[in-house]
Amino acid sequence: MVEWLAKNTTTITIWAGALSTFAIYSVLYAENRFYRLFEHIFIGLSAGYGVYITWSEVLRPKWWQPMVVGGKWYWAFAAVLGSMFYFMYSKKDAWISRVIFGLFMGLAAGGMFREFYEIYFPQMGASMKPLMANGMTIWDSVNVVIFYVILFASMSYFFFSFEHKNVALAKSAAAGRWFLMIGFGAIFGATVMGRMTLFIGRFNFLINDWGPQVAIAWKSIWFKSFVALLFLAAVMLILIFKSHRKRKVSTLDGK
Amino acid sequence: MAKILGPHHGWILAAYIVGAMVSGAIFLALLTTVPPRYRKPIVMVLTFLAGLFYSLEFLLPPEAWFFVKPNRNPLTDWRPFVGTLTQIVWSFALLLGVWNLFQIHGKAVVKRGPGWYNSAAFFVAFAAIVFAGFAKDMSRSTAPAQLYTILFKGFLTSLDATMFSLIAFYIVSAAYRAFRVRSLEAALMMSAAGIIMLALVPVGAVVTNWLPNTGFLSIFRLEKIGYWLLIGPNMAAQRAIAFGVAVGGLAMSLRIWLSLERGSFFDRQL
Amino acid sequence: MIGTTPYANPAVWIVEGLLVFFILYKILSARRGRELFIRRIPGLSALDEAVGRATEMGRPMLYAPGLSGLDIVGLQSMAILSHVVRHAAKYGTRVIVPLADPVLYTVAEEVAKDAYAAEGVPEQFNPEDVRFLSDRQFAWASGVVGILHREQVASAFYFGYYYAESLILAENGQMIGAIQVAGTPATTQIPFFLASCDYTIIGDEYYAASAYLSREPTLLGSLVGQDYGKLVIVGLIVLGAVGVTLKVLAPDLPFVAWLNDLFLKFFPRGL
Amino acid sequence: MGILARLQNIDRRILYLLIALVIAAPLLQRPRRHPHIIFSEVRNAYKTLDTVPKDKIVILSAVWGPGTRAENEPQTEALMRHLFMRGTKFVVLSWDPLGSDLTYDDGLRIQREMGKQYGRDWVHLGYNPGPMYTVISGMAKGFHQVFKRDKLGTPLTKLPVTMGVKDYRQIGAVAEITPSGTVWTWIAYFNTPYNKPLVYCPTAVMAAEAYPFLDSGQISGMLNGVIGAAQYETLLGMEDKRTYAAAASWALSSAHIFIILLIILGNLGYAFMKRKGTREQGGRRIG
């Protein structure tokens, strides 16, 4: 077993990849058992991977080794802090988990001033555009005006506390919403290509990596008969699924 | 002080670690005896103090008068330590989630309800990758590393990539269904998306290829319009959203920091 | 950002100070009982409608906080969750909450438990309905897709921080005919929610949600303060734009150069 | 009428099958034609590399790994071809352990095709774990202090390409081929301070964010995903070669056109039904 594994790691990896790919794509037709199985494997693997990687990339190098090998004993207090999370399972002392939550929320909240400065100050700076300058064409000026109209109209849409009885504000907010929709359309359109290349990536994997493996396997009589069996089983499953679904539809059709 | 902090080795180190653990346990035990009416104020004060760290670290420039030594904000030196500490303590919380998964799937396996074998598959996958991962780092044999490759590269990354690539399909059905001229809003969104989709591919740009490449008319070439939409209106609209989100985020952080936040989680008796 | 000091400068103190002042001042005045107006947010009004529909159909609901952790986005999501669960508890409808962050999971469990207790039906709370799925983005998404289909949810709510998985969830929800309401501060994901959900709240409507739903004076006051804060930003931009324009039109005016240098110094021109 | 009504309610499974076919067909068939419309940012990228003085080298900084091979490999190959063709010397710098092998193989394959020689015409500096900004800013001041040996372990002082490179002065341009937001490091630590042109080759997902920087001139040219690579190949005079980039570019183009056609069909059906006064199914609203 171990030897066989060692000899065929690449082959098995590619087959596992192909199987996973088909399992996930099957949900495009309908949610099914094959998908469900792989969904659970996926969650199991990622949880296990999380445990492993948390230990090997965070806890071991940053906590365990400095403490046990490096002699920095005070890291032991980190474990005490960490254990405070688990008090939430206690009815009486659940508040202790609140202490650690409070500490973390405070830390996160304290970062707000820096974050506001680092992310949004440059954006404010970039928004201060001259309407006219040396070397700017009329077209550039028009663009700047358009920029300000869209910026301020869209911002006015997000004023919550001013009653939109003021006609100018109401109009501006409505226009702002239209501008926002143009922006969202632009994002949508610009995203399509990136998403399509993701599928091309999977397709290339199936054709260029898995394809040759299938060609190799096809040479063996065992594989051929296995495929034939699989085909038969699939046909039967589809037949069963169909009759099963007819019954199900009548009960679930609440729409 | 420096002598206490160590580093220590051997038995002394073990004693220190055990001592730290025990004192930690005593501290926690003391916390359990705090009467309810002091609990909320304690959490509030700790939240405020924790918030002070990063705020002051940023808001007090090194040239402020009260930093005597050659212009340093002492909190800055503590940033890496606080960062590491946060990461470590946070890592301990991971098991909260894993524990919940174990509970739900364990129950399913024990009860043998419908689909229990899926939950069994969860446990197998979990155990396999944890075993392969740790065994790979500890043993000299290559077998665990190969098992790890199969699980990680074969399954996990393929599942990740395929799940991600599902969007290629969903984006088609979403565009097809949503982009109907029902309202001005839908029409605007549709037109912007359509123009940019055409503009980004050479085949689409053929539509306006008859226009000159320079001069006034060139601005009506599709790729120019698409480009303009992206850096013009799109950027302005995104920036408007960004400013709103910025102020909203600042306000919420402020409320949490000063324990002014309201809502079930914050109003609860402790 | 590159080329900027890592510490606050006078502009930061003034601008952030003004924002903090307006927010706190409005919170305090609201607490003293001043009536405050807040405009309608259709997406949030739709929450109750969606709960009602699930009740009518006798099918559960799904509330997904995205990949948010225990931060402001996640906590805001929890405030909306509390509202949804309380409504659901009133009618005895199930709410399934799949989480991607182990710590937020514990918070969500408490919030749900409290909401049932507040409606006087603590026994209805089923701990299995609040579940941690995975902290890995697409493993979480695959799990939510599975839940959507298997539980045939009637309504789905997506409130929190979302990345690319937004469309995967929303399209699957659409497939099973669920009524869907979404909101996220992640601008790049809003178009996909708009395309697949029945109601989508945009941008910082997300941060207005808790005030809107609870009508709590503190939160309403903060919301009004935020509006003033946004006015401050608008004012700054106008001032800066006038400054840079005047520098070209009337470079000899005495204060123009000074104003210009000031803005150039404190507002780095990133893009 | 039946058809038009049905057009606004095509089953999503049919849509999925069609989009899969639309993308798969060009990839399998590998059409010979390249796009003959070249976007200005691709043209500028070409011009940038085409005008690098012969005595200076170009740095190809490859951040990509197997995950984005489908997009970044064609870009890398196109740039390599161009530099070989012009006889401009270049070094490849990889920031991904697996990508390092991939780019090395690409280089070997193309040099064989074009009759070039490793060491004389190009050098692979191997995998560099970073951090990126220290490597880049260090390299600008002292090339040989940061890079000592090439991928095979040969000292760089012995290789003709790198022998004479002392610092930024011998570097003519940088091309960043990346799936993530790493280009700002180059802009901040190398291209802006030393005023060197930068060619950016992002994946399609990242490209949208780069337009403002193209506008401001901080990036001199860009190859947007695999489409950019195909256009670049056209500029290299490969328009009638069957390449992967061309096939993928056709696949993406036809996917875009397919979606637009679908939107038009759906709206035709919608307009027709509206005139007839029948309310469409569902009545979903945006908002």
Q: What is the pLDDT of residues D142-197, one digit of tens each?
A: 899 888 889 888 999 999 999 889 889 999 999 999 988 778 888 888 888 888 99
8 Å CB contact of C8 and B59: yes
Percent of chain D with pLDDT over 70: 95
Say yes or no: B230 contacts chain D, CB-CB below 8 A.
Answer: yes
**Candidates D13, D252, D259; nearest CB to A197:** D252
Residues in chain C within 8 Å Cβ distance of A152? 234
8 Å CB contact of D211 and B175: no
Helical axes A33-53 vs C137-151, angle rounded to 10°: 150
8 Å CB contact of A131 and C227: no
Question: What does the radius of gyration of chain A's CA atoms come to, in whole angstroms?
Answer: 30
Give the pLDDT confidence score for residue D286 in this predicted structure. Answer: 40
Q: Which residue's entry shows tokens 């036809």?
A: D254
Residue C7 Cα, gap to closest chain B Cα (Å): 5
Burial (CB count <10 Å: 0-12, 13-18, 19+), residue B248 = buried
Percent of chain B with pLDDT over 90: 59
Q: Kindly state the average pLDDT of the residues C71-96.
A: 93
Single-letter code of the amino acid located at B118: N
Give the pLDDT confidence score for residue B67 in this predicted structure. Answer: 66
Say yes or no: B195 contacts chain A, CB-CB below 8 A.
Answer: yes
Say yes or no: A38 contacts chain B, CB-CB below 8 A.
Answer: yes
Residue A108 Cα, gap to closest chain C Cα (Å): 7
8 Å CB contact of D13 and A28: yes
Nearest CA in chain A to C229: A159
Q: Which residue has the higher pLDDT, C240 or D3?
A: C240
Q: Which residue has the higher pLDDT, C262 or A16?
A: A16
DSSP letter (8 states) at residue D225: H
8 Å CB contact of C210 and B58: no
Given CA atoms A71, A74, A76, A79 in this order, what sign does their dihedral have? Answer: negative
pLDDT beyond 60 at C3: no
Give the pLDDT confidence score for residue D280 in this predicted structure. Answer: 45
Q: Kindly state the average pLDDT of the residues A66-71.
A: 89
Residues in chain A within 8 Å Cβ distance of C135? 46, 50
**Candidates B73, B193, B245; nearest CB to C185:** B245
Residue B219 Cα, gap to closest chain A Cα (Å): 10
8 Å CB contact of D205 and A194: yes
Sheet holding C61-66, edge to edge: C130-132, C95-99, C61-66, C155-161, C179-183, C199-201
8 Å CB contact of B234 and A182: yes
8 Å CB contact of A197 and D255: no
8 Å CB contact of C1 and A122: yes
**D273: confidence class by pLDDT, cuts 50, 70, 90:** confident
pLDDT beyond 60 at D284: no
The strand pairing partners of D123, in sequence order, are D91
Give the pLDDT confidence score for residue A255 in this predicted structure. Answer: 33
Q: What secondary structure, in 3-state letters, does A10-46 show?
A: HHHHHHHHHHHHHHHHHHHCCCCHHHHHHHHHHHHHH
**D275: confidence class by pLDDT, cuts 50, 70, 90:** confident
Q: Kindly state the average pLDDT of the residues A194-215.
A: 92
Range name among B252-256, B260-264, D258-262 with the lowest pLDDT average: B260-264
Q: Kindly state the average pLDDT of the residues A214-226.
A: 87
Cα C178 to chain centroid, rounded: 22
8 Å CB contact of A194 and D204: yes
Say yes or no: B133 contacts chain D, CB-CB below 8 A.
Answer: no
**A251: confidence class by pLDDT, cuts 50, 70, 90:** very low
Q: Kindly state the average pLDDT of the residues A211-223.
A: 88
Nearest CA in chain B to C221: B251
pLDDT beyond 90 at D38: no
Say yes or no: C268 contacts chain D, CB-CB below 8 A.
Answer: no
Give the pLDDT confidence score for residue A247 in this predicted structure. Answer: 55
Give the pLDDT confidence score for residue A202 in this predicted structure. Answer: 94
DSSP letter (8 states) at residue D187: I
Length in residues, chain A: 255
DSSP of A63-103: IIIIIIIS--GGGHHHHHHHHGGGGGG-SSSTHHHHHHHHH
pLDDT beyond 60 at C164: yes
Chains that touch C (3 or more CB pairs under 8 A): A, B, D
Give the pLDDT confidence score for residue B266 in this predicted structure. Answer: 78
Give the pLDDT confidence score for residue D13 in this predicted structure. Answer: 93
pLDDT digits (tens, 9 = 90+) for B123-155: 999 999 999 999 998 888 888 999 999 999 999
8 Å CB contact of C78 and B93: no
Q: Kindly state the average pLDDT of the residues B109-132.
A: 94
DSSP letter (8 states) at residue C124: G
Determine how many CB atoms are found less than 10 A away from the CB of residue B127.
Answer: 12
Query: The pTM is what?
Result: 0.90
**Candidates C171, C187, C226; nearest CB to B251:** C226
Give the pLDDT confidence score for residue C270 in this predicted structure. Answer: 46
**Candidates B24, B86, B219; nearest CB to A107:** B86
Query: Could you give the count of Cα atoms lying within 13 Å of D112 in the half-sphere of its Cβ?
Result: 6
Highest mean pLDDT, choosing among A146-150, A238-242, C267-271, D158-162: A146-150
Single-letter code of the amino acid located at A41: I
Q: Kindly state the average pLDDT of the residues A105-112.
A: 91
pLDDT beyond 50 at D281: no
Q: Kindly state the average pLDDT of the residues B78-90.
A: 89
pLDDT beyond 60 at D85: yes
**Candidates C1, C41, C191; nearest CB to A184:** C191
Would you tell me which residues 197-256 of chain B have a C-beta closer than 8 angstroms to some C-beta of chain A? 197, 200-201, 219, 226, 228-230, 232-244, 246, 249-250, 253-254, 256
Specify whether the CB–CB gap between D277 and B190 falls below 8 A: no
DSSP letter (8 states) at residue D220: -
**Of residues D89, D88, D62, the one with CA closest to residue D75:** D62
Give the pLDDT confidence score for residue A244 in this predicted structure. Answer: 67
Would you tell me which residues 32-71 of chain C have a C-beta closer than 8 angstroms to some C-beta of chain B? none
Determine how many CB atoms are found less than 10 A away from the CB of residue C18.
Answer: 17
Q: Kindly state the average pLDDT of the residues B37-57.
A: 93
Chains that touch A (3 or more CB pairs under 8 A): B, C, D
8 Å CB contact of B104 and C128: yes
Range name among B107-121, C99-113, C240-254 with the lowest pLDDT average: C240-254
**Of residues D287, A192, A177, D268, the one with CA closest to residue B180:** D268
**C4: confidence class by pLDDT, cuts 50, 70, 90:** very low
Give the pLDDT confidence score for residue B220 in this predicted structure. Answer: 84
**What distances in angstroms separate CA D116 from CA D109, D112, D125, D131, D230, one per listed residue?**
10, 6, 17, 32, 23
8 Å CB contact of A203 and D259: no
The Cα C167–Cα C173 span in angstroms is 10
8 Å CB contact of B194 and A179: no
pLDDT beyond 90 at A21: yes
CA angle at A13 for the pair A11 and A18, rounded to the nearest 5°: 95
β C179-183/D198-202 pair status: unpaired
pLDDT beyond 70 at C268: no
pLDDT beyond 80 at D75: yes
**D33: confidence class by pLDDT, cuts 50, 70, 90:** confident
Say yes or no: C121 contacts chain D, CB-CB below 8 A.
Answer: no
Nearest CA in chain A to B153: A13
Q: Which residue has the higher pLDDT, D61 or D133?
A: D61
**Candidates D213, D216, D287; nearest CB to C199:** D287
Specify whether the CB–CB gap between B163 and C142 falls below 8 A: yes
Would you tell me which residues 123-182 of chain C have a C-beta closer than 8 angstroms to some C-beta of chain D? 175
ipTM of the complex: 0.90
The Cα A160–Cα C221 span in angstroms is 11
Q: Kindly state the average pLDDT of the residues D66-93.
A: 92
Single-letter code of the amino acid located at D185: T
8 Å CB contact of C271 and A126: yes
**Candidates B107, B244, B253; nearest CB to C203:** B244
Highest mean pLDDT, choosing among A88-97, D56-65, D210-219: D56-65
Percent of chain C with pLDDT over 70: 96
pLDDT beyond 60 at A248: no
pLDDT beyond 60 at D244: yes
Single-letter code of the amino acid located at B164: F
Give the pLDDT confidence score for residue B65 in this predicted structure. Answer: 64
**Candidates A75, A108, A123; nearest CB to B239:** A123
Question: What does the radius of gyration of chain C's CA atoms come to, in whole angstroms?
Answer: 22
Burial (CB count <10 Å: 0-12, 13-18, 19+), residue D280 = middle
**What distances in angstroms separate CA B135 from CA B98, B125, C255, D150, one per listed residue?**
20, 15, 71, 34
Say yes or no: B186 contacts chain D, CB-CB below 8 A.
Answer: yes
**B68: confidence class by pLDDT, cuts 50, 70, 90:** low
Mean pLDDT (chain D, rounded): 87
